[in-house]
Amino acid sequence: MLDLDYVITIHDEIIRDLGGLSGFAHAGRGGVGAALHRVENHVHYAGLDDVFGIAATYAVAIARGHVFNDANKRTRLTCALTYMERQGISIPRLADLEDLMVDVADGSVTSEELAEYFSAVWELSLSR
């Protein structure tokens, strides 16, 4: 699982490297923690154990929490990809992933749909 300080570090590095407004949105560090607790709750209480599902849940939780002042899309994408990489699954960072993160934020793509997308991209990358 990704911990609070690690997610904040990911965000801070994105801001440093690519620019943007640093800091937290309305709930401060607690907002980031709450988003991460949503993921943990899905794992522990809903029995979520699929790598793609957990990665997608990170993206959705950070999106819905809108926890940072800026770079929420980039942070949630990086967190999802990082979680999968830690589990030995590396998927290419395709151009449409950023657009997909917008769809995650507005609710037009569900966690389940995002997990299916991650799985399909990984399967495709294995066949190359």
Domain extent at residue 43: 4-126
CATH of the domain at 97: 1.20.120.1870
How does pLDDT run across 50-97, given as a tens digit for each residue? 999 999 999 999 999 999 999 999 999 999 999 999 999 999 888 899
Contact between 101 and 63 (Cβ < 8 Å) = yes
Q: What pTM was estimated for this model as a whole?
A: 0.95
Number of domains in the chain: 1
Sign of CA dihedral 21, 30, 2, 62: negative
